[in-house]
Amino acid sequence: MNKPGALAEFLRARRALTRPEQVGLVPGAARQVPGLRREEVAMLANVSTDYYTHLEQGREKHPSTQVLDALARVLQLDYDAHTHLRALAAPSRPGWRTHQDLGSVERAWTSLLEHITTPAMLVTPWLAVTARNRPADALYDGIPLRDNLARMAFLDDAITRFVDDPDQLARCTVATLRAAAGPEPHAPQMIELIGELSLRSDTFRQLWARHDIHRKGSAIKHFHHPVAGLLTLHQHVLTLPDHPELQLWIYRPEPGADSEDAVRKLAESATATLHRPTPVFARARTRG
C-alpha cells in the first residue's frame, strides 16, 4: 500500500536493517539506532546529510537515478529492492484495472488453463486467484482460503500442514505484496487486503514494516498434500505481456519423478473442469 511517504518509509526501514559492519564501518559502543545513522548513509552515498534527511522526511520525493543507485549500494539492496526503490521515486503511473475490468482479460486466457496438464492459475498483484485449472484445484483442495494466496498464508491454519516452511512463505508473501504495491498507491483491492491483514495478523504487521521486496520467478516448492503426499514442483511465474496486472503461475513436476504421477492422478480425480473463484471482495468473510 503505497502512500505519498512510501519512498521515505522504505529508506527508513532499509537503513534500520543495514548494520555498520556491512558497509565497512565500526559499530562503536554508544549507538542509539538499530542500523546506520542518517549521516552515515549520506556520507557513503556522497550526498549531504540535509538532502538525505529530506528524503526520509518525504520533503524530497524524486531523487536522481545516480542518487538512487548510490543509496541502493549503501543499503545493500538486491535487484528486486533496487528496482522497487526506483519505482517509488518515479512519477505516478496509471492505476491497475479494477477486478471488473479484468474480466475480458481473464476470458482470453482461461482457455489456455484448460490445456495445461499441470497445476496452473491466474493471479492478480494482490494475490487473488481469478481462475485455476483442474490440477491446481486438486492441489489446493482442503485449503479454505485458497482464493487469495496472502490470506491463505496468514489467516488459514491449514497452511502449516500444506507447505514445508510456513515462515518462509509468510516472508515471501509480504515481500511480493510490497513489490506489487510500491509503484501503485491507489489499487483498492490491495489497500483493503493490506488493511485486513494488518488488523488480523501480528506477523504480517511486523514483516510489512521491514519493506522487504521479492518478485516472483522460478522456484522449487514442496507441498504436503493430504492425498498425494509430498509433492516437489517447479514453480514458474509469467507476467502476461499485454496485461501486466495478471500473472500465470504454473507448477511443473520433474519428468519421471514420483510427483509427476501424483499430480496426474490428482488431476484425474478432480471433478471440476475449470474453477473460477468468487471475486475476493464480493464474497463474505469466512473467518472472524
Whether residues 177 and 81 share a domain: the answer is no
Whether residues 112 and 141 share a domain: the answer is yes
Q: List the grid coordinates of 195.
A: 488493511
pLDDT, tens digit, 9 for 90 and up, residues 11-26: 999 999 999 989 988 7
Whether residues 25 and 140 share a domain: the answer is no
Q: What is the C-alpha separation between 249 and 193, in angstroms, rounded?
A: 20
Does 228 map to a domain? yes
Does 49 map to a domain? yes
Whether residues 122 and 259 share a domain: the answer is yes
**CB 227 within 8 Å of CB 266:** yes
Whether residues 136 and 183 share a domain: the answer is yes
- The residue among 89, 113, 145 that closes a domain is 89
Does 281 map to a domain? no
Whether residues 130 and 268 share a domain: the answer is yes
Question: Which residues span the domain enclosing 36?
Answer: 6-89
Whether residues 56 and 160 share a domain: the answer is no
Whether residues 85 and 137 share a domain: the answer is no
Beta bridge partners of 237: 249
Average pLDDT rounded to a whole number, residues 35-54: 94
Straight-line distance from the first to the last Cα atom of the chain, in angstroms, rounded to the nearest whole number: 23
Q: Which residue has the higher pLDDT, 273 or 7?
A: 7
Does 98 map to a domain? no
Whether residues 247 and 124 share a domain: the answer is yes
Which parts of the chain are beta strand (E)?
120-123, 129-133, 219-225, 229-240, 243-253, 274-275
- The residue among 60, 89, 118 that closes a domain is 89
For residue 87, give the nearest of 180, 17, 204, 158 by alpha carbon: 180
Q: Describe the chain by its helix, strand, coil percentages, rounded to 5.
A: 45, 15, 40
Using alpha carbons, list the distances in angstroms from residue 72 to 61, 85, 107, 152, 164: 16, 8, 40, 32, 32
Average pLDDT rounded to a whole number, residues 100-123: 77
pLDDT at 204 over 70: yes
Instruction: Return the SS3 of 39.
Output: helix
- β-strand 243-253 against 219-225: which pairing, if any? unpaired
pLDDT, tens digit, 9 for 90 and up, residues 47-102: 999 999 999 999 998 899 999 999 999 999 999 999 999 988 986 655 555 555 55
Does 97 map to a domain? no
Percent of the chain scoring above 70 in pLDDT: 84
Whether residues 59 and 181 share a domain: the answer is no
Number of domains in the chain: 2
Whether residues 143 and 186 share a domain: the answer is yes
**Residue 279 pLDDT level (bands cut at 50, 70, 90):** very low
